[in-house]
Chain A
């Protein structure tokens, strides 16, 4: 169980990205976070694994206080929290294999990993992860030789190496076309069915309806909605996205 309590983030330049956000995620949920660009979705996800330090509030995971964890404790916690990014964030000049293996870094000896020495079992695990996302044949390619959709699959394979209990996905399909979006989200859905909790920010409403078990909406850093996907009707949608949302929605629906 993941508990976000009174989370507030004020950036050094004064921007209030999150304002007193509280919610709970049960194990096994596929929780989708929606909201306009700039509403604080990325900030929220990064405060959970402390890529960004929250200003106030705390994050509890199965009772452990992530917000107060020491650097060593934080690394232990992060090992089980996979993250998937809008820009994929693969290391472009490294091989696909190396990118996937890097998901295992929290588990291995830092000296041998820095020298590039990986155990046979880790290599096998990496190949299995690549097989799962259907690009095992690309293992020896450089990551930047892959298409966007393939790079995102590398990103997912990398999180699989972590044996995650929780996956944070920050607009994982916003840089992909609609067909690819579904193929990527289906992997997340599959993992979710296997018991991994997923927190995912999404832009397109049809994708929200299709994949989310529950939805949270942010507006200017404030949680303005928490409920089931089907509860987001036209009126609710306008409330979250503002008056000009009609166009946004029209295109998203068409594209989806």
Chain B
């Protein structure tokens, strides 16, 4: 009788809990706007971007650049059009001038055959406004329809120009500007990780002894220091590196220094904890033996504790180095400098091929550092 009532209650409680869990997932599903269909329907829209990301901007050819230029007043009568030369390469329009919104036919002749031509407006203020791409035929001629944009107006007597630009590649491949920028930034990123790991280790190593019970637990003063240091480490560890990087970016300004600071603090706290656990797990026997010889505390630590913890320390440092390389690549998104900053900038201005270069570089560097640390680990632990 009693057993049955107990069973019933258990069923009831279990059912209620299941209901709660189901509700949590239901709300979660709605709040996170889960929509698997989007994975398919959005594919078309994002295909161009994905394509860019998969075709990183790596190399460029050296080019012979030529610019052909005519004065083209908009609206008509606002300035004198160019007199056309007729022997050398030049471009011309079917009309000498036009009003905003008109479509004019622009042609070129005597140019490099089978070459891309970039047609642009040179505005009175000196800025270029891209209009259209065309291509010359086998004889070096092209014709393209160009719409006159309302802003291409003459100001202060200075007219707009129509320009046709060609860039004919020659010679070998050169690293593109994007590749150079990415390499510079990835080096910054690796150095952020390196400096933070080094500084974090240097701070954490001595602190870890203060946070080890078997070293500090012998006196009342020691125990208080142990408790205080432990608490500081635990509190510091509870902050995320991205949050800290944001804080430091506001404090010392955007850039690699903020990233180094944030990562150093995280590394210090995390290694401090791991190190202190390594110190706590040592064999107390040698410590006893060296203490018994009349050695001073510092000698005891160096002769009986340090040799025992070195393998653990090395493997924890390598472990954290791996973590730091990964984190430092994205720290830039919150102002930490390095490749993450470059990547976020390229995405903001929709330069996806350059973003692709950065992403591939991150993948490569993370992979290389993993390989490197695996080798170190094999050799030293």
Q: Which residues of A contact B (CB under 8 A)?
A: 49, 51, 74-79, 81-83, 85, 87-94, 98, 102-106, 110, 113-114, 155, 158-159, 161-162, 168
Contact = CB atoms under 8 A, between A and B. Distances in A.
B294 A77 contact: yes
Most buried by A among B283, B286, B302, B311: B286
A77 to B, nearest CB: 7
B4 interface: no
Given A92-B308, A102-B303, 6 more contacts: A51-B291, A89-B289, A91-B307, A113-B303, A155-B289, A162-B294
A110 B289 CA distance: 17
Interface string B296-313: 101110111001101100
Most buried by A among B290, B295, B304: B295
Contacts of B292: 49, 51, 78, 81-83, 168
Contacts of A91: 286, 290, 303-304, 307-308
B285 interface: yes
A119 to B, nearest CB: 15
B288 interface: yes
A109 B366 CA distance: 46
B293 interface: yes
Contact of B289 (A85, A93, A113): A85
Interface of B: 283, 285-286, 288-296, 298-300, 302-304, 307-308, 310-311
Given A102-B293, A106-B295, A158-B293, A90 B288 contact: no
A82 B294 CA distance: 9
Contacts of A93: 307-308, 310-311
A169 B293 CA distance: 13
Contacts of B298: 110, 114
Contacts of A158: 289, 293
Most buried by B among A87, A89, A92, A110: A89
A211 B261 CA distance: 64
A110 B307 contact: no
Contact of B286 (A76, A79, A82, A90): A90
Contacts of B308: 91-93
Contacts of A114: 298-299, 302
Nearest to A49: B292
B299 A89 contact: no
A113 B285 contact: no
24 contacts: A51-B292, A74-B294, A75-B294, A76-B294, A78-B293, A78-B294, A79-B293, A79-B294, A81-B292, A82-B292, A85-B288, A88-B285, A89-B285, A89-B288, A90-B286, A91-B286, A91-B303, A91-B304, A91-B307, A94-B303, A98-B303, A102-B289, A102-B295, A113-B299
**Which 4 residue pairs are nearest across A and B when measured between Cβ atoms?**
A106-B294, A105-B295, A78-B294, A89-B285
A53 to B, nearest CB: 9
Contact of A105 (B283, B286, B303, B311): B303
Contact of A89 (B286, B300, B311): B286
Given A83-B289, A105-B290, A158-B289, A75 B295 contact: yes
Nearest to B294: A106
A3 to B, nearest CB: 20
A144 to B, nearest CB: 11
Contacts of A87: 285
Contacts of B311: 93
A75 B300 CA distance: 12
A98 B310 CA distance: 16
A84 B252 CA distance: 57
A159 B293 CA distance: 7
Most buried by A among B286, B293, B294, B310: B293
Contacts of A74: 294
Contacts of A82: 292-293
Contacts of A168: 292
Contacts of A104: 293
